[in-house]
Structure 1
Amino acid sequence: MTPLERWSLHLAALATAGTGVLDGLLRWFGQRAGEFGPEPHPWLGLVQHLHVLVAPVLVFTLGVMVRGHLWPRLGRSLEGRRTGLGAAFLIAPMVFSGYGLQVVASPAWRGGLAWAHGLSAGLFLLAYLGHLALRGWLPSVQSTVEGASG
């Protein structure tokens, strides 16, 4: 992967994860008491639209990552493969459940897809961050503790 591809992936992941987490927080904890009952948070619509707009950029950059990073490394060493493959296997459920949320109208299906999307996206984010931490892109807890005490 080129540096442009790598940073595009990281920025798209950051934007998509940020808007997704904020969407979930506003949806679960942002309800307000209105005149006729509970109302959604006023920012929920904006955050949801931003998430739907930035998610395709993440899907595109993930495709670039599969071509330039995943396929060439499948036959090599096992280092970093557990978290990388874990994240890779979660891409399809995350993307398809997110797409399904946009096109399904049945409340039962929307509820199931929302849970599937939230769980697969949360697990993908954990695997992605774990993969970055193992590759040295994120500061480790040990180096943070050593830096604070030294």
Structure 2
Amino acid sequence: MSPLERWSLHAAAWLTAATGLLDGGLRWFGQRMGEFGPEPSPWLGLAQHLHVLVAPLLVFTLGVMVRGHLWARLRTGANGRRTGLGLAFLIAPMVLSGYAVQVATDPAWRTALSWTHGLSAGLFLLAYGGHALRTLLAARGVPRGVAILGR
């Protein structure tokens, strides 16, 4: 991956994660008591719109990464990291459920798709952070077999 591709992927991933966490946090914990009972946060709409606007940038940069990084590693048989393969398997459920939740009209489907999106995106974020940390440690000369947390 070129430095521009890497920077774009990191920026899109962290912006999408930040707006998604903000959206989820406001949705779950941002309710306030109104005149007639609990009301959603007035910021929820903005957070959701920002997430929906930023997420396609992540989808685009993930496509660039799959083409230029993942396929190259798989074709050459290079030893990949488990976090990278985990990321690859989480892309489809995260992206597809994210788009589907926007168009689902049945409450049961919306709930199932929301949970699927939240769980797959959360796992993606953890794997992405782990993958980035291992890449950073490898660049600093820490051998691959060394435990990160000192086990």
Question: How high is the TM-score relative to the length of structure 2?
Answer: 0.88
Residues 33-52 of structure 1: per-residue CA shift (max 9 Å, x gap): 00111100111000000000
1:6-41: CA deviation from partner (whole Å, max 9, x where unpaired): 100000001000000111111111000001111001
Between the two proteins, the alignment pairs up a number of residues equal to 141
Give the gaps of 5 or more residues in structure 1: 144-150
Aligned counterpart, 2:78: 77
Instruction: Summarize the alignment of residues 58-97 of structure 1 with structure 2, pairs less than 5 Å apart.
Output: 58-74=58-74, 75-80=76-81, 82-97=82-97
How many Å separate the matches in 1 of 2:117 and 2:52? 13
Give runs of aligned pairs for residues 3-18 of structure 1, distance below 5 A: 3-18=3-18
- TM-score in terms of structure 1 length: 0.89
- Structure 1 residue 79: Cα displacement: 4.3
Output the amino acid matched with 1:98: G
Q: What does 1:24-43 align with in structure 2 at a 5 Å threshold? A: 24-43=24-43
What is the one-letter code of the residue matched to 1:114?
S
2:107 matched to which residue of 1? 107
Q: Name the SS of the counterpart of 1:6 in structure 2.
A: helix
Q: Could you tell me the percent identity over the aligned residues?
A: 71
Q: Give me the whole-angstrom Cα distance separating, in 1, the residues matched to 2:36 and 2:117.
A: 30
- Alignment-mate amino acid for residue 107 of structure 2: P
Provide the aligned C-alpha RMSD in A: 1.9
Which sections of structure 2, spanning at least 5 residues, go unmatched?
Answer: none
Partner of 1:49: 49
How far apart, CA to CA, are the structure 2 residues paired with 1:22 and 1:51? 9
Report if the CA contact (8 A) 2:12-2:61 is conserved: yes
